[in-house]
């Protein structure tokens, strides 16, 4: 047959794929946000689950604090800077304490009583404090480390952790809320095929409420 007279292929009679309905689109969005939020909150959830146990049994978990003591003598220029208490003098004094003792004077809480200056610098799992005799320059510093469990417990409570950790806790809390709410949405979509979905969800809500009402402060 002459190629010029060949029949053109008949148009396909297959119907165009239907656009997914609102339930399918909702399912896709819930799954997307659920796994993203779970990835963001995974490390934080494991940390808070572990420290929830350690805080709940804090009385039975014992640790021996390690105390490090250091002595030094502040030069006259540093003592004079502490007495002047101006921005330039504070920076001079802070630089000396950082280099000589590893103490961040600019972050510490300062209190002066007569010729003695006291500085306290709490941190997760420990604290550091020092005293400075402004007359003689004698410096006494004690650094206490209560162990890694105390450190993780303080992270859980946000105790003396600084601005960056506080921001992380806010982001982590938001990710956990998204994880829980998207999980609730997925439960609602699965519920028609899984009869135990809502009884299990209601039990999860009622159990802590009943324990709190019946067993706490009774």
Of residues 15 and 61, more confidence is placed in 61
Residues 6+ apart with CB under 8 A from 45: 176
Angle at 40 between CA 39 and CA 46, to 5 degrees: 80
pLDDT of residue 215: 84
Determine, yes or no, domain membership for 171: no
- φ/ψ of 149, rounded to 5, equals -70, -40
Determine, yes or no, domain membership for 106: yes
Determine, yes or no, domain membership for 160: no
Q: Match 């997914």 to its residue by tokens.
A: 20
Do residues 96 and 126 lie in contact, with contact meaning Cβ atoms separated by under 8 Å? no
Q: Does position 22 have pLDDT exceeding 70, yes or no?
A: yes
Strand order in the sheet with 109-113: 66-73, 138-145, 126-133, 116-123, 109-113
Range of weakest confidence among 12-16, 83-87, 207-211: 12-16
Do residues 197 and 190 lie in contact, with contact meaning Cβ atoms separated by under 8 Å? yes
Determine, yes or no, domain membership for 197: no
pLDDT of residue 71: 95
Q: Does position 10 have pLDDT exceeding 80, yes or no?
A: no
Q: Does position 124 have pLDDT exceeding 60, yes or no?
A: yes
Q: Does position 58 have pLDDT exceeding 60, yes or no?
A: yes
- CATH code for position 127: 3.30.160
| Per-residue confidence band for 26, with pLDDT thresholds at 50, 70 and 90 | confident
Determine, yes or no, domain membership for 99: yes
Which residue range is the domain that position 80 belongs to? 66-146
**pLDDT one-digit tens code per residue, 185-212:** 988 888 888 888 888 889 988 998 888 8
Q: What is the mean pLDDT of residues 47-71?
A: 91
Q: What is the mean pLDDT of residues 24-47?
A: 90
Determine, yes or no, domain membership for 6: no
**pLDDT one-digit tens code per residue, 156-193:** 999 999 899 999 999 999 999 999 999 999 888 888 88
* Distance, CA of 159 to CA of 178 (rounded, Å): 25
Q: Is 127 buried (19+), middle (13-18) or exposed (0-12) by CB count in 10 A?
A: middle
pLDDT of residue 152: 94
Conformation bin of residue 65: beta by default, left when phi > 0, alpha when psi is -120 to 50:
beta
Determine, yes or no, domain membership for 41: no
**Total count of domains within the chain:** 1
Determine, yes or no, domain membership for 177: no
């Amino acid at each position: 047959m002459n190629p010029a007279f060949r029949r053109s292929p008949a148009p396909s009679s297959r119907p165009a794929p239907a656009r997914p309905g609102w339930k399918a689109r909702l399912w896709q969005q819930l799954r997307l946000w659920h796994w993203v939020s779970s990835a963001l909150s995974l490390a934080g959830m494991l940390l808070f689950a572990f420290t929830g146990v350690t805080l709940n049994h804090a009385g039975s978990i014992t640790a021996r604090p390690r105390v490090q003591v250091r002595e030094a003598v502040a030069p006259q220029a540093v003592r004079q800077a502490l007495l002047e208490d101006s921005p330039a003098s504070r920076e001079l004094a802070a630089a000396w304490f950082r280099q000589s003792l590893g103490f961040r004077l600019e972050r510490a809480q300062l209190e002066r009583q007569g010729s003695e200056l006291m500085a306290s610098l709490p941190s997760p799992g420990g604290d550091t404090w020092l005293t400075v005799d402004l007359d003689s320059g004698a410096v006494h510093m004690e650094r206490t480390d209560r162990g890694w469990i105390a450190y993780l417990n303080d992270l859980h409570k946000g105790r003396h952790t600084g601005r960056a950790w506080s921001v992380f806790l806010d982001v982590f809390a938001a990710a956990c809320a998204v994880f829980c709410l998207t999980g609730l949405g997925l439960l609602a979509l699965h519920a028609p095929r899984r009869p135990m979905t809502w009884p299990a969800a209601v039990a999860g809500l009622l159990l802590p409420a009943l324990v709190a009402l019946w067993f706490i402060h009774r």
